[in-house]
Amino acid sequence: MSTRKKGVQSVSKPRYIWWGYVKALIRVCGNVKNPKHKYVTDDISAAYARMYDSLDEPKKQLCQMVLVKRTHTIVGAALQLHISEATARRWHWEVITKMAHEMKLNFESH
């Protein structure tokens, strides 16, 4: 049984083709011990450094827990950082889109 009302369209965030790619780059750039780190170009490393340096400390912690080390889910990181799940999801989205902006990726959804 669907809970959506008839004739009402839901609005969702756009899907970007580069989303998974950027998440993988953040994971690799944030961990120099990752064997794939040797394939990262200087431009991508510089974009990651600019993105990471622009974050405040709680967002850096979320980035490390969820994207780089993958020790926490978004919900688990929210509990650890004493923030709401919605805030954690928003910060997660902000970190990934900041990296995409630094890489000058296209923000047109498909």
| Residue 2 included in any domain | no
Residue 50 reports pLDDT greater than 50: yes
| Residue 69 included in any domain | yes
| Residue 42 included in any domain | yes
Mean pLDDT rounded to a whole number for the chain? 90
pTM: 0.83
Domain extent, residue 76, equals 19-102
Q: What is the CATH number of the domain that holds 30?
A: 1.10.10
Quote the CA–CA distance of 89 and 83 in Å, as a whole number: 10
Per the structure, the count of domains in the chain is: 1
| Residue 109 included in any domain | no
* 30 residue type, one letter: G
pLDDT one-digit tens code per residue, 11-27: 676 778 899 999 999 99
* Helix, coil or strand: residue 110: coil
Confidence grade of residue 3 (pLDDT, cut at 50, 70, 90): low
- Residue 58: its pLDDT value, please? 97
DSSP, residue by residue, 27-78: HHHT-TTSGGGGG--HHHHHHHHHHHHHS-HHHHHHIIIIIIS--S-HHHHH
Quote the CA–CA distance of 13 and 105 in Å, as a whole number: 17
Phi, psi at 99, each rounded to 5°? -60, -45
pLDDT one-digit tens code per residue, 52-82: 999 999 999 999 999 999 999 999 999 999 9
Residue 104 reports pLDDT greater than 80: yes
